[in-house]
């Protein structure tokens, strides 16, 4: 192969590479144009969203300010509430200490009162036992007295029954006496009505 042919072959190879480069460059330009168009659209959309966000931000800013003010007030209230809670806790602790002291004093007083109450209760039991003994003695005496009265009543009933029987006997004797007296009076009256000459009949034979 001669030098000219070699140069022509090299030139043809370079031309082919250039043509391929041109084709690939056009494709790349097309892709870049498409990407640029897409980026421009995305930028337009982003600017539109940004404008919307700016508008929303301008609308939200007063609300944020109000929220910040409210947050500041709440923070102040929280600090005040925290101070009040600390004061309440201190007061509660002081009250608990006083309560423990009071409970100690109350326990001592309660112990003394319980001791006195126990002594009073024991004394009351002794007096109650003594009263029960006296009541039992009185009950026994009362029962004995009732028994004696019952026996006396039975004796009186017996005596009354005897007197009733005697009275009945006396009444029977009195009735017989009155009958005899009546018969005698009747005979005397009949004799008085007879003539005197018949005195023998009065006295019998």
- Give the pLDDT confidence score for residue 1 in this predicted structure: 54
- Mapping DSSP onto H, E and C, the string for 103-116 reads HHHHHHHHHHHHHH
Retrieve residue 143's tokens. 């029962």
- Give the pLDDT confidence score for residue 195 in this predicted structure: 62
Retrieve residue 81's tokens. 């509430």
pLDDT in tens, the chain (205 residues): 567 778 788 888 888 888 888 888 888 888 888 888 888 888 888 888 888 888 877 787 888 788 888 888 888 898 898 898 888 889 888 888 888 887 777 777 777 778 888 888 888 888 888 877 777 877 777 788 788 778 878 888 887 888 888 888 888 888 887 888 777 887 777 777 766 555 444 444 4
Q: Which residues are within 8 A (CB) of 201 and not within 5 positions of it... i.e. 6 or more apart?
A: 194
Q: Which residues are within 8 A (CB) of 93 and not within 5 positions of it... i.e. 6 or more apart?
A: none
Half-sphere exposure of 14 (CA within 13 A, CB side): 6
Closest CA to 2 of 55, 172, 10, 151: 10
**Cα dihedral sign for 8, 13, 17, 20?**
positive
CA 158 vs. chain centroid, Å, equals 70
Is the model's pTM score more than 0.85?
no
- Give the pLDDT confidence score for residue 106 in this predicted structure: 74
Retrieve residue 196's tokens. 């005197």
What CA–CA distance (Å, rounded) separates 7 from 193?
229
């Amino acid at each position: 192969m001669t030098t000219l042919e070699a140069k022509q072959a090299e030139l043809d190879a370079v031309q082919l590479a250039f043509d391929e480069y041109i084709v690939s460059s056009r494709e790349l330009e097309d892709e870049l144009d498409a990407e640029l168009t897409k980026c421009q659209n995305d930028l337009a959309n982003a600017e539109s969203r940004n404008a919307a966000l700016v508008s929303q931000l301008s609308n939200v800013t007063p609300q944020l300010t109000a929220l910040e003010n409210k947050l500041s007030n709440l923070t102040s209230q929280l600090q005040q509430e925290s101070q009040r809670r600390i004061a309440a806790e201190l007061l509660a602790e002081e009250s608990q200490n006083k309560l423990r002291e009071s409970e100690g004093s109350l326990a001592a007083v309660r112990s003394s009162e319980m001791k006195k109450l126990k002594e009073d209760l024991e004394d009351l039991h002794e007096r109650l036992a003594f009263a029960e003994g006296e009541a039992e003695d009185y009950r026994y005496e009362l029962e004995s007295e009732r028994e004696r009265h019952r026996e006396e009543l039975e004796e009186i009933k017996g005596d009354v029954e005897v007197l009733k029987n005697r009275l009945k006997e006396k009444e029977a004797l009195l009735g017989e006496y009155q009958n005899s007296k009546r018969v005698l009076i009747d005979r005397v009256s009949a004799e008085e009505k007879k003539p005197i000459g018949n005195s023998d009949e009065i006295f019998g034979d």
